[in-house]
Amino acid sequence: MRVEGKHRFATKYFIFIWEPILNVWAVIKIAFIKNFISHRATRDDVAPQSSILNPRSFSDVFANKNPSNSCIQDFLNAAVFLLPDSDTARLDVEIALKIALNVDQGYLYAHPEQMLLSDEKNNLIELLGQRKAGKPMAYLIGYQEFWSLDFKVNEAVLIPRQETELLVELALKLFPQHDLLKVADLGTGSGAIALSLATERSAWQITATDISENALTIARLNAEQLGVSSVRFLRSNWCDQLVDGPYDLVISNPPYIAQNDTHLQMPSMRYEPRKALIAEQDGLADLAIIIQQAKGLLNSGGYLLLEHGYNQGQSVRELFVQHRYQMIETRQDLSSKDRVTFARKK
């Protein structure tokens, strides 16, 4: 009975003393959680105070009117609105910010609140305006990565594509040893293929040709920048000036886009040299010329490697058959599309 009475007393004590305190604590916890959620939403959402984040003000950005409250983070947050047609909008804005502010990527994320000075803002708006018009980012910054190397590019040369690395990869697999070989890269452009091979096989004697002297100027600059001295650059229309054969390997990424191909309507394609893109005969004309000419240039047992369009694999194989090449194969790129066909001379 006395124990039971103690329990009743303890229960009454808890109800009158501790229950109100716990209720107050519960209210405080709920208020804290609501405030935390509200604070996170304010941080994670696009800040309404910045005019650059208001879609109605985007036209002002590209009309060179300086938006107020525009710090680094504002531009990063607004990337998809600033560049709605770009698949890499945020990356594009990051690169443009690095150029405009002359800083590295780490600085952007370490100082997101930094306000842009007037000159910096104007430079950034100019870059974003050109990118919005479709100019490739590689032309804006002046270089493109290929085979983990940086290549200088401008509108005199095609921008090296990732799928073209398949040519380099296959060439290295066909000739895995560092033996002395003679190699010709036809239509070298920026020199991406020839110089990438040279960095992997220093003993190879590589001749890189192009019909454009402006393209060869860029290729020579890239060779100097990469410290490659083993590549000879020669002005030639495909194999015309290659009189020092025979060669063990001929490799090329020639023009292969048909004149009526809808891809040519893409804004970015307007900036690249048309002669390096388009070929007659539904894009097969230059491929056919190279297959014919290389037959007389290659050693017996030498290889010809050609990049081509995703829908041209069958046609290129037929051209190789017509000229009696052997061991004809087509390989696919990372998108599982026919991209490179190669064959061996008897």
- Region 130-141: mean pLDDT is 93
Measured CA to CA, the distance from residue 320 to residue 68 in angstroms comes to 62
pLDDT score for 6:
47
- What predicted TM-score, i.e. pTM, was given to this entire model? 0.79
The model's confidence at residue 147, banded by pLDDT at 50, 70 and 90, is very high
pLDDT score for 23:
59
- Region 152-174: mean pLDDT is 97
261: exposed, middle or buried (Cβ count in 10 Å: 0-12, 13-18, 19+): middle
Measured CA to CA, the distance from residue 303 to residue 295 in angstroms comes to 9
The model's confidence at residue 57, banded by pLDDT at 50, 70 and 90, is very low
Measured CA to CA, the distance from residue 120 to residue 79 in angstroms comes to 17
pLDDT score for 45:
41
pLDDT score for 32:
53
Measured CA to CA, the distance from residue 201 to residue 318 in angstroms comes to 31
pLDDT score for 183:
98
Q: In the predicted model, is pLDDT for residue 252 greater than 60? A: yes
Query: What tokens appear for 197 in the block?
Result: 């091979």
Give the distance, in angstroms, between the CA of residue 108 and the centroid of all CA atoms in the same chain.
Answer: 20
Q: In the predicted model, is pLDDT for residue 118 greater than 70? A: yes
Q: Beta strands of 16-101 (E only): which ranges?
A: none
- Region 115-122: mean pLDDT is 92
How confident is the prediction for the chain on average, in pLDDT?
Answer: 85
Give the contacts of 300 (CB within 8 A, at least 6 positions apart).
Answer: 345, 346
pLDDT score for 267:
78
pLDDT score for 35:
53
pLDDT score for 51:
46
b/e code 291-330 from CB counts within 10 Å (16+ = b): bebbbebbeeebbbbbbbbeebbebbbebbeeeebeebeb
Task: Give the angle 277-341-177 at the CA atoms, nearest 5°.
Answer: 110
Q: In the predicted model, is pLDDT for residue 114 greater than 80? A: yes
pLDDT score for 302:
96
Q: Which of 17-26, 189-198, 260-269, 317-326 has the lowest mean pLDDT?
A: 17-26
Whole-number Cα distances in Å, 241 to 208, 217, 244, 345: 11, 18, 9, 21
The model's confidence at residue 264, banded by pLDDT at 50, 70 and 90, is confident
Query: What tokens appear for 329 in the block?
Result: 């194969």
The model's confidence at residue 275, banded by pLDDT at 50, 70 and 90, is very high
- Pick from 346, 257, 246, 345: nearest CA to 305: 345
Q: What is the 3-state secondary structure (H, E, C) of 136-179?
A: CHHHHHCEEEECCEEEECCCCCCCCCHHHHHHHHHHHHHCCCCC
Query: What tokens appear for 60 in the block?
Result: 């002002």
Q: Which of 20-34, 245-259, 264-278 has the lowest mean pLDDT?
A: 20-34
pLDDT score for 41:
40
Q: In the predicted model, is pLDDT for residue 155 greater than 70? A: yes
Measured CA to CA, the distance from residue 214 to residue 143 in angstroms comes to 16
% pLDDT > 70, the chain: 80
Q: In the predicted model, is pLDDT for residue 86 greater than 70? A: yes
pLDDT score for 22:
56
